[in-house]
Structure 1
């Protein structure tokens, strides 16, 4: 039987922009809304979906990826409300404690899958992580959860082939910076065209450096891209590359900001788009899912869609009229997408044989 292990950091509410005196879309309501939705819809049954308590990670865990100077800088920032450890990042007196508990949940989610206790897992944590690099943070992120988890799984379980797949609308630039030269880690990021969106990194021609050329893959989706375009990228690039790489586990950086209701981006995935990608992934590989971005009112709904896809259950009804959504978008979207897809396949062909 397929079963899902759920972890979440109970102290997340102590990382709150209101404590800094200004609003921010990355705030406690994000995770509160998800947890409330899960309770209201009885998604945690203790059998197929079970919540596992987690202990905070240690500073030694953080140092698997991040430099000691950066950790010291974060500590200093927690003592001074006027300082920040990075661009577009806020920090509060308890933020480091929150970050360590979030990381503990991530490592626990990895343990659950690596030890075979759960088929898949979902770490519902905040703040997010994929923009944080070894020596700095940005984009609401403090610690690079997926990067630290990879190092943890390599050291504790001896895993040699790990995939990190990002479907957040923003590129996974922090994760890229950790693994751009590591051929044991395949990083794939499907994100909005980086000429139009923060962090303005992760372009199609960024494919890693020797000895790992071809092991960092960035697909830029033109604004207004939707389910059909994402489906093509998955079928023609992601799945083919994963089949050849043969991962022992897939870490999914699951951002909900590629959703059509997301106010900070310009992509148009619906619940069917999310469901298809995750269902196909979970039908072949064990998935450790990490919550990343998403700043709209349907985070709980999308979480339930992810759980259904991981379990192999039927999706809830998608209320979006996709034909109407596609008809209303800019005419050049599909043409730009096809050009980007062709360029990426040509660049990757020497490494993965995509043509």
Structure 2
């Protein structure tokens, strides 16, 4: 039995590291010949995962097909599924998630809490009476890691609006940003990871660090996990789902968006939990039982992001200071070059109590930079 993965980035790399424990070959398709997965498997193929025929040819001899990025050919996945191959996530679910408009409408149709919104086909459809300032514009397709998102606070911001099909939604009064990763098998059984809290870099609009579990109260944690399971059950398909949510200033929980794959917010499960999100992904593709999600230690993950003003061959400054900390784990993604805002790796730390965890986070954030001397 061979597995085929569309996407050879850092998520694919961490999946391969997990998959090597099992006697099942994994092939990877990515357009970049220097993708992080390229050096990790003899079954790496350079090719466009958005091209239907390329994907069909690549996966023709695989028993199961998975993704590490949403922006792939759904048409190819539909044909592969029709041919009897196991496809995770289900193509019908991926179609919904690829289009933020369909995704938001799915939440509304299933009465799942989310920010008030409407769909705009063009700038002419933007209606300040329907949702007044401040609001958020999200392009319906193609956006990721904060790209394709415009926050419109005042009338002076209106020229930033893009003339593309969009979701226009109320600017959420965010108190906290959290996420829950849920694995669901073919029978609808779920394994739910502890709630994580994501702290964002407000300039780059990227996750700065993640902590597991969130230190928010038990009621919020319980409600968030229940809401994530309700959403996954509404999808009605096996898969691994990362459900991102906002906790509002009044204590409500709104679903922001969902990723049907392994996710940045779950990387710390590698060291913190009995089984990582990548183990769950492998088991889902292989049709194996779901794994335990028990968390052993408090954990945090700090993203290693390319520094401003630095482009070229990557250098990690402060490595010696980080390695002097106990229970610290570095994950370097193997990308050849850095550039401002690019995800280059992450560092996971473990601790027994909150002050120790926070101290490690602060130490790493002050000590480490990804730069280039060229």
TM-score, normalised with respect to structure 1? 0.29
Structure whose residues are more often helix by fraction? 1
- Higher relative contact order at CA 8 Å, sep ≥6: structure 1 or structure 2? 1
Structure whose residues are more often strand by fraction? 2
Q: Which has the larger radius of gyration?
A: 2
TM-score, normalised with respect to structure 2? 0.28
